[in-house]
Structure 1
Amino acid sequence: MSASFASALAAARDAAAAQHYPQGTLYVLATPIGNLADISLRALHVLQLVDAIACEDTRHTQTLLRAYGIESRSLLSVHRHNEAEGAQEVVRRLQLGQRVAYASDAGTPGVSDPGARVVAAVVAAGLRVVPLPGASSVTAILSATGGEGEEGGFVFHGFLPAKGGERQQAVEALRQETRSVVLLEAPHRIAALAETLAALGTRRLTVGRELTKQFEQIAALRCEEFPAWLQADAARSRGEFALVLHSVRVESDDAEALRVLQLLLAELPVKTAVRLAAEISGASRNALYQAALQMKGEQP
């Protein structure tokens, strides 16, 4: 443990100890996604307070505790393959009046990580859940895109299917999604994802790699440029990825026009769909045409 974290533990005690932490409660605890400094003071305090920590990987969590100078706690292995059974052990301990934290390996439990089943079991048992918010690759990459999401919000998709055919179908569905979409990907599959997303043509993409870590990289490009960007530097295929497929914008304020255009594009050629959408909604035909090209992944 460094002197910096010794100070952090003292600060955590001073800042959070006066709050009430009820017994028989599950504390859903977000952990850093790479940078150890991205831990909250309240999380540090709760990690010292709880009777047990349910975690995705006990070895990883033990390493995390050592880094912060926190004494060993009772660690329960609750991962993707035993989550249903592990959830019942967590419920049992809570019913005995224990405080239990749940921490996945990185980020917020239940967001493309285990934890959702544990929380559901605790809620079903009529017990309390307290979230301890913190690091998230989803919100981190969204915050670096320059305001994406203001037009209709964003969709969190997470990991696309691993199989080629299913993945292609998923991307075709994303083609019709006009809101921003957040995707996650592992390094061994990023090249395949790049090739698949390239079919979306000129639609804008923000790629986040190794977020919060020493070699963090954030790049803004078009989908069609993604494969070449990866191939230009072997280091770009390393690390965990969070990506934002940017929204398709229509200058008109009439959101109904965009909805009509989406429906028509599913059945008609671009020019016909644009003409009918403009006639139905009264929106600009030029604006709708540009939006249609982005949806279809075609060059203007």
Structure 2
Amino acid sequence: MYSGERLGTLYVVATPIGNLEDITLRALNVLKDVDIIACEDTRQTKKLLTHYGIGGKKLVPYHEHNEEQQSEKLLSFLVEGKSIALVSDSGTPCISDPGYRLVKKAREAGIKVVPIPGASAVIAALSASGFPTDAFTFFGFLPKKEGQLRRKLEEIFGYPHTVVCYESPHRLKRTLEIIAEMDSEREIGIFKEITKINELFLKGTAGQLLEELEKRGAFKGEFVILFPPKKEKESDFDVEGMLEELKEGGFSMKEAVKKVRELTNLPKREVYAKALKIFRGDNN
């Protein structure tokens, strides 16, 4: 922890994931004002800076292969009072991208870390998927090894909410084949090249998506896979009929719900919702 010194500020700046217009005014102002820009690929960052007429900036490469060494170097600049913008090639830094080590070290040193929010493929995909978003899990890139991938997919299949993952184009086909083999009826969604010219969203079983991607020749690009929660199968029990009979037999709503649950082992909320209609005429 450094104290009594004029410390710099670390800005975590989100950049476009495709369309260069998807950057905030605040992000552009920060990029213009900072002393140093730490970037995953200096060539990619230069394209963005050139597009917006931002020049004369010191660019420091910061990626997964030099994170440990460069984070110490960048920390020394921050201690000297210099301001740094941390950016990745696209989207929000530290989200399946380098940056975690530098942010951690900066905070431990008492240096101010300021998020400059913006584009994120995870949030963009969720927002436009039509899948439930009240709760979700993000797993980053799926495992490369088949055994680990199968175990991860088994885990994902059991989640009661939407799961979001990234997958590389050269592994996408095999991943879909494995999903189709493990659960041929499960619906999933695929977002390709979000915000770019060839943006595409497809929804269906893994087998259906494989056929569609083959037909379009669309296995190139950046992909987000979304797994919505599995739909619960319709109950084989005539719950409403059972509740009607119990009501006619003099049971209270509470007693009827308890009795039906004992007979069917169905979730309380499901039985209770049906009981409200039968006992109180609640059609909402």
Asked if Structure 1 and Structure 2 have the same fold, meaning a TM-score greater than 0.5 normalized by the shorter chain, the answer is yes
- The answer on whether the counterparts of 1:31 and 1:104 sit within 8 Å (CA) in structure 2 is yes
> Which ranges of structure 1 fall in alignment gaps of 5 or more residues?
1-21, 253-274, 286-300
Whole-angstrom distance in 2 between the partners of 1:143 and 1:251: 26
Whole-angstrom distance in 2 between the partners of 1:106 and 1:237: 20
Q: Which amino acid aligns with 2:19?
A: N
Match for residue 93 of structure 1 among 77, 94, 98: 77
Change (3 A) 1:118 1:281: same
Match for residue 97 of structure 2 among 104, 113, 127: 113
Change (3 A) 1:136 1:192: same
Equivalent in the alignment of 2:189:
206
Matches within 5 A, 1:134-145: 134-145=118-129
When normalised by structure 2's length, the TM-score is 0.78
Per-residue deviation, 1:72: 2.8
Q: Deviations over 1:31-66 (max 9, x none)?
A: 101110001100111111000001111121112211
The alignment yields a C-alpha RMSD, in angstroms, of: 2.3
Whole-angstrom distance in 1 between the partners of 2:263 and 2:54: 61
SS of equivalent residue, structure 1 residue 113: coil
SS of equivalent residue, structure 1 residue 38: coil
Whole-angstrom distance in 1 between the partners of 2:160 and 2:11: 36
Matches within 5 A, 1:129-168: 129-150=113-134, 153-168=135-150
Per-residue deviation, 1:221: 1.3
- The answer on whether the counterparts of 1:195 and 1:226 sit within 8 Å (CA) in structure 2 is no
Whole-angstrom distance in 2 between the partners of 1:82 and 1:72: 24
Whole-angstrom distance in 2 between the partners of 1:237 and 1:149: 26
Change (3 A) 1:278 1:118: farther
Equivalent in the alignment of 2:22:
38
Change (3 A) 1:214 1:180: same
Whole-angstrom distance in 1 between the partners of 2:188 and 2:179: 9
Whole-angstrom distance in 2 between the partners of 1:164 and 1:99: 43
Per-residue deviation, 1:282: 4.2
Confirm whether residue 191 of structure 1 aligns to residue 173 of structure 2: yes
Match for residue 243 of structure 1 among 225, 228, 236: 225
Identity of aligned residues (%): 40
Per-residue deviation, 1:276: 9.3
Whole-angstrom distance in 2 between the partners of 1:179 and 1:203: 14
Whole-angstrom distance in 1 between the partners of 2:262 and 2:156: 23
159-168 or 22-31: bigger deviation: 22-31
Whole-angstrom distance in 1 between the partners of 2:233 and 2:55: 57
Q: Which amino acid aligns with 2:62?
A: V
Per-residue deviation, 1:283: 6.1
- The answer on whether the counterparts of 1:29 and 1:133 sit within 8 Å (CA) in structure 2 is yes
Whole-angstrom distance in 2 between the partners of 1:57 and 1:237: 24
Q: Which has the larger radius of gyration?
A: 2
Per-residue deviation, 1:100: 0.3
Whole-angstrom distance in 2 between the partners of 1:203 and 1:144: 20
Per-residue deviation, 1:205: 1.3
Q: Deviations over 1:238-285 (max 9, x none)?
A: 110012111234599xxxxxxxxxxxxxxxxxxxxxx99952744659
SS of equivalent residue, structure 2 residue 191: strand
Per-residue deviation, 1:154: 0.3
Match for residue 208 of structure 2 among 225, 233, 256: 225
Q: Which amino acid aligns with 1:164?
A: E
Whole-angstrom distance in 1 between the partners of 2:29 and 2:7: 15
Per-residue deviation, 1:201: 2.5
Whole-angstrom distance in 1 between the partners of 2:48 and 2:263: 55
Q: Which amino acid aligns with 1:212?
A: T
Confirm whether residue 181 of structure 1 aligns to residue 163 of structure 2: yes
Equivalent in the alignment of 2:10:
26
- The answer on whether the counterparts of 1:149 and 1:247 sit within 8 Å (CA) in structure 2 is no
Per-residue deviation, 1:23: 6.2
> Which ranges of structure 2 fall in alignment gaps of 5 or more residues?
1-5, 235-260, 272-284
Runs of 4+ in 1 over 6 A off after TM superposition: none
Equivalent in the alignment of 1:279:
265
Per-residue deviation, 1:204: 2.0
Equivalent in the alignment of 2:277:
none
